[in-house]
Amino acid sequence: MQRKLTIQQLKNITLESQGLLRRSAFGKGKKAVLNALDHLGYLQIDTLSIVERAHHHTLWTRIPDYKTNYLDELVKEHQVFEYWFHAASYLPMKDFRFVLPRMLEVKQNESHYYNADPKMMLYIIDTIRAEGPKRARDFENETKKLGSWWNWKPAKIALERLFLQGDLMISERDGMQKTYDIAERVLPNDIDLTRPSSLEFAEYLVKTYLRAYGWTTVKQITHLKAGETIRKNVNDVLNALIEDDIIEKVTIEGYPSVYVLRDLVDRRITKIREEINLLSPFDNAIIHRDRVQQFFNFDYRIECYTPKEKRQYGYFCLPILFGNTFIGRVDCKAHRKNRQLELIHLHIEKQSIDFELWVEPFAEIIKKFAAFNGCNSIKLTLVSPLNNSLALLLNNIFCQYEAISAPIIAVPSSS
């Protein structure tokens, strides 16, 4: 007989599993970064820098003393590597064998979208093997000397192809500038290079999602993974875990069946801290949009890829989580030259929650986020639905913050 859980229980389980209900859930310092990555399974990399990039933002949300150099150091120490999960990601080095099937797929697929010139690939491999790690820009001038068709674009395509098929790995980073090296020089000597079977790969996915979220669905596990084989293997793994009493299949009327870790089913998370989490659009907790809409009743889509005239909320909106409820979103931009964080559009959706309950923790997290982005002043431009009391209160708080922080730009009144 299947037991039942409430939506509130599922929300609490997944937010606690994500490290969003307890301060410093993964510890402190660089070790906490590795703990968080081991637990979450991956960390999506994003190149957009409207505010601090997504991979750093996601860790900062969970690790109060996080510093952006921690990730770069872990890559250089070969404890973390870069590859694809469902997108470009950081992954714990211990999971390297589970990217081998994709690497082999790329290598065997001549029509892959990174259809690189074989001569360029051989030139790059030979150069890096002989001369040591290289950045993409190191090949720009060199390739131009070899002939008019040896230009920057083919070199970049070749590097990406060699990276995706596993011949090269990223050995270190300086911001978004990547350094490539021969894979065997990056991989630790004791790393397991056994290619997993399709069933082992399914087990890896199932256990990753269960650990990171506390519960999962078949749809989430097989997201962006086509074919009946992966779906069958995932179901076989889930059924085996049920038989071993590791997970339970739980039903909620009107929702798809979910699979919950057994030791979390009877756990009651009753006290939720009334704090604000300001999430990246690519945060692990928000990245599966259908799941968030269905179980958290929060319809979130990032609009930076939407034409300006069709945007509803803004270019780069950050979801606002209050306790276990998404109360709205805020379109932010860090004006780094002026050291000002602008809240271009603060949109509050949960009007039933008195803003006096969340306004102070929201202001506090915004001040911390401004500092994280290297800003010492805050500008609030628009609040919707229109709420003059809320806008005035926030502006007063931000003005006090600026007085302490020696602001460059004063905060104007919000309309």
pLDDT given at position 113: 63
Taking the C-alpha atoms of residue 185 and residue 172, their distance in angstroms, rounded to an integer, is: 12
Beta-bridge partner residues of 341: 334, 378
Is the same domain home to 90 and 210? Answer: yes
Q: Does 273 fall in a domain?
A: no
Strand pairing report for 340-348 and 247-250: unpaired
pLDDT given at position 400: 82
Is the same domain home to 162 and 140? Answer: yes
Q: Does 90 fall in a domain?
A: yes
Phi and psi at residue 365, to the nearest 5°:
-70, -35
Q: Does 274 fall in a domain?
A: no
Phi and psi at residue 232, to the nearest 5°:
-65, -45
- Tell me, what amino acid is at 197? S
Is the same domain home to 150 and 254? Answer: no
pLDDT given at position 150: 44
Domain that holds residue 387: 298-405
Is the same domain home to 346 and 224? Answer: no
Contacts of residue 105, defined as CB under 8 A and 6 or more positions apart, other chains included, come to none
Is the same domain home to 314 and 398? Answer: yes
Is the same domain home to 80 and 199? Answer: yes
List per-residue pLDDT tens for the chain, 415 residues long.
Answer: 566 788 999 999 999 999 999 889 999 999 999 999 999 999 999 889 999 999 999 999 999 999 999 999 999 999 999 999 889 999 999 999 999 999 999 999 876 667 888 999 999 999 999 999 999 889 875 544 444 344 458 888 899 999 999 999 999 988 788 999 999 999 999 999 999 999 999 999 999 999 999 999 999 999 878 789 999 999 999 999 999 999 999 988 888 889 999 999 887 776 777 899 999 999 999 999 999 999 999 999 999 999 999 999 999 999 999 999 999 999 999 999 999 999 999 999 998 899 999 999 999 999 999 999 999 999 999 999 988 999 999 999 998 877 665 433 334 444 3
Phi and psi at residue 245, to the nearest 5°:
60, 30
* 220: its two tokens: 């989430």
Number of domains in the chain: 3
- Tell me, what amino acid is at 238? L
Taking the C-alpha atoms of residue 163 and residue 181, their distance in angstroms, rounded to an integer, is: 9
Contacts of residue 273, defined as CB under 8 A and 6 or more positions apart, other chains included, come to 21, 22, 23, 323
Q: Does 284 fall in a domain?
A: no
Q: Which of 167, 186, 205 is the last residue of a domain?
A: 186
Question: Helix, strand, coil: what percent of the chain each, to 5?
Answer: 45, 20, 40
Is the same domain home to 162 and 70? Answer: no
Is the same domain home to 73 and 209? Answer: yes
Closest C-alpha among 328, 207, 285 to residue 15: 285
CA-based torsion, 136, 140, 142, 144: positive or negative:
positive
Residue 251: C-alpha distances to residues 160, 239, 242, 258 (Å): 44, 15, 14, 7
**CB count in 10 Å sphere of residue 250:** 18
Do residues 238 and 218 touch, judged by C-beta distance below 8 A? yes
Q: Which of 159, 186, 213 is the last residue of a domain?
A: 186
pLDDT given at position 152: 53
Is the same domain home to 160 and 199? Answer: no
CATH number for the domain harbouring residue 355: 3.40.630
Provide the H-helix boundaries in 246-288. Answer: 262-265
pLDDT given at position 148: 38
Q: Which of 123, 152, 186 is the last residue of a domain?
A: 186
pLDDT given at position 195: 97
Q: Does 103 fall in a domain?
A: no
Is the same domain home to 360 and 227? Answer: no
Taking the C-alpha atoms of residue 224 and residue 87, their distance in angstroms, rounded to an integer, is: 10
Contacts of residue 283, defined as CB under 8 A and 6 or more positions apart, other chains included, come to 54, 57, 58, 61, 319
Is the same domain home to 203 and 182? Answer: no
Is the same domain home to 179 and 121? Answer: yes
Q: Does 379 fall in a domain?
A: yes
* DSSP 8-state class, residue 4: B
> H-helix or E-strand containing 261?
strand 258-261
CATH number for the domain harbouring residue 123: 1.10.10.10
